[in-house]
Amino acid sequence: MRTLVLGANGQLGSNVVTAALDRGWEAHGTVRSSPERAPVECSRLDIRDADRAAALLDERAPDLVVNCAAMTDVDGCEADPERAHAVNGEAPGDLASACADRGIRFVHVSTDYVFDGRDQTPYDESGEANPLQVYGESKLAGERAVRNLDADSLVARLSFVYGTHGFTGEPTGFPAWVRGKLAAGESVPLFTDQHVTPSRAGQAAATLLDLADAGESGTVHVASRSCLTPHEFGRLLADRLDADPTLVEEGSMGDVDREATRPPHTCLDVSAVEAALDRPQPTTDEDLAAIDDALSLDRRAD
Ligand SMILES: NC(=O)c1ccc[n+]([C@@H]2O[C@H](COP(=O)([O-])OP(=O)(O)OC[C@H]3O[C@@H](n4cnc5c(N)ncnc54)[C@H](OP(=O)(O)O)[C@@H]3O)[C@@H](O)[C@H]2O)c1
């Protein structure tokens, strides 16, 4: 399968590139900033440039495009809604349409932040979207544009993405920050009033390719089976590091002054992806064990 990964330098995109290479697929990437140690050729692309994107599709002639490019700074979206809507809302529709015209499979990545988080039970794919901030509104607009313009596309919603960078192997996301604090013996206040189903980037990347390979379309949730607060997640990390658990302190979303409102409970129901691929999604504990294994293999290789 010839794969083109948009946003290849990011946390998820870099893992999609390595997941494609791992299964012997041909892969190319697009980046906006300079790629770090990319194992594949990467072309420059701002996804808002629809003509350049279409030209790249003709040049690379991929079978599959995975769009991991997005404006992911949730507070930054609040400050610059025009840019957020252009990158997250409009560009994905142009990409989907260009892929549909050329018979290319299109996988687009979205977010649990399309939900308002007022339901206490995990959201399945039919849950009512009602974003609370510009980021979620722009991502929901992107989902709708993709579905309207390419009926065969797949929209995958992820939640609280973390893991290791696919090119550098460096830890990324929330656990990277918490591990740093705990390793330095510093206390870290973590929210007890937010619930998420963390998606490990490497696992999510492989799952996106499995779904594309299986010809799945529509909307699907790709996350772990564990519905956790960041505080509970931090306690899991402290256990793994053998760190003093009292360093993981209780905090509240209300303690932090941020531009964008966060939804309190956006755990995703992953039954649909499990049924589509006939296998269970991992728990967060299993995902953390996979990261520890990868990091110790890297250390041995150094
Ligand atoms: N991170 C999370 O917790 C989370 C949760 C749920 C869903 N998601 C979704 O998962 C996807 C991947 O997120 P991630 O965590 O991998 O984020 P990330 O590390 O911030 O990667 C996003 C990538 O998009 C690129 N990008 C931004 N604006 C662009 C533009 N105009 N044109 C082309 N590329 C552009 C960035 O490139 P530069 O660095 O060069 O600007 C970056 O490499 C996104 O769709 C996001 O909405 C993320």
Does the CB atom of residue 33 touch ligand 1 within 6 A?
A: yes
* Strands 171-172 and 161-164, bridge-based pairing: antiparallel
Tell me the CA–centroid distance for residue 246 and ligand 1, in Å: 33
Q: Read off the pLDDT of each residue in 239-253 and give the average, rounded to a whole number.
A: 93
Compute the chain's Rg from CA coordinates.
Answer: 19
∠ CA 266-214-108, rounded to 5°? 45
Which one-letter DSSP state was computed for residue 37?
S
- Structure token digits, residue 90: 């409009």
Tokens coding 88: 């997250």
**pLDDT-based confidence at residue 296 (cuts at 50, 70, 90):** confident
**Rounded to the nearest whole angstrom, what is the distance from the C-alpha of residue 242 to the centroid of ligand 1?**
32
CB of 234 within 6 A of ligand 1: the answer is no
Distances (CA, A) of 1 to 27, 105, 106, 171, 207: 8, 11, 13, 28, 15
8 A C-beta contact, residue 202 and residue 19:
yes
Q: Which residues does 174 contact at the CB level (< 8 Å), separation at least 6?
A: 160, 162, 198, 230, 233
69 Cβ inside 6 Å of ligand 1: yes
CA 145 – CA 112 distance, rounded (Å) = 17
pTM: predicted TM-score of the whole model, two decimal places: 0.97
Residue nearest to atom 21 of ligand 1 (CA): 10
156 CB under 6 A from ligand 1? no
* pLDDT tens profile 13-59: 999 999 999 999 999 999 998 776 899 999 999 999 999 999 999 99
Nearest to 197 by CA among 115, 139, 138: 115
Mean pLDDT of the chain: 95
Parallel, antiparallel or unpaired: strands 64-67 and 42-44: unpaired
Token pair for 210: 């499995």
161 lines ligand 1 (CB under 6 A): yes
C-alpha angle 155-57-33 in degrees, rounded to nearest 5: 80
Could you tell me if 127 and 157 are in contact, meaning their C-beta atoms sit under 8 angstroms apart? no
d(CA 236, CA 106): 36
Q: Which residue ranges form the domains of the chain, and what is each CATH number?
A: 2-166+198-224+267-284 (3.40.50.720)
Which atom of ligand 1 approaches the CA of 108 most closely?
A: 45
Ligand 1 center from residue 113 Cα (angstroms): 14
Render pLDDT for 90-144 as a digit per residue (tens, 0 to 9).
Answer: 999 999 999 999 999 999 999 999 999 998 999 999 999 999 999 999 999 999 9
Q: What is the pLDDT of residue 290?
A: 93
123 assigned to active site = no
User: Cα–Cα distance between 15 and 112 in angstroms, integer?
Assistant: 20
Kind plus residue range of the DSSP H or E element containing 202: helix 201-213
DSSP string across 147-179: HHH-TT-EEEEE-SEEEE-TTT--EESHHHHHH
* pLDDT grade for 271, boundaries at 50, 70 and 90: very high
